[in-house]
Amino acid sequence: METKSRLILQNTMRFLSNKGYQVISEFALPNKKRVDLIALNLKKDILIVEVKSNIKNLKNDKKWQKYLKYCNFFFFSFDNCQEIKNIKKNIGVIMANNKKTEIIKKPKYNKINLKKKNIIILKFALSAASKFHRLIDPSFKKKKNNSIFIYKKNI
């Protein structure tokens, strides 16, 4: 990940954490698409955030539309929102830079069916545990225990 994207990611994670969310980066959804950030709070609101370092990345990325059915709120996060225009009504925008991180545009709430929501919350917990395990034990085999692999196992 390039330095600019990493800074946006870190600032966004810090911002969401301060708002009461637990955040995981590089999370695999049930459709095998990997999101930059997924966040969960005590109300079981699920946020997905895609980090974009420039407007060109946003225009070239079409896969984000496949994330919408897995979250209550979807955001793009940028470090400079002056060039951001024509974002759909249901999509939020976070400006995350070293000076300030804030929600520039609030997204519409998207209701997720309870079964799907519970599956995502379980996978969130399993992914977090796996990431923590790898942090404590770097020799733990990542390829057999990453967030995509947990969708291949029936629990």
Look at the pTM and tell me if it is higher than 0.75. yes
Query: What is the fold of 3-111?
Result: Trna Endonuclease; Chain: A, domain 1 (3.40.1350)
pLDDT, residue 118, reads: 95
Contacts of residue 65, defined as CB under 8 A and 6 or more positions apart, other chains included, come to none
Residuewise pLDDT in 10s, the chain (155 residues) = 688 899 999 999 999 999 999 999 999 999 999 999 999 999 999 999 999 988 788 888 889 999 999 999 999 999 887 666 677 788 999 999 888 999 999 999 999 999 999 999 999 999 999 888 888 988 876 554 455 454 454 44
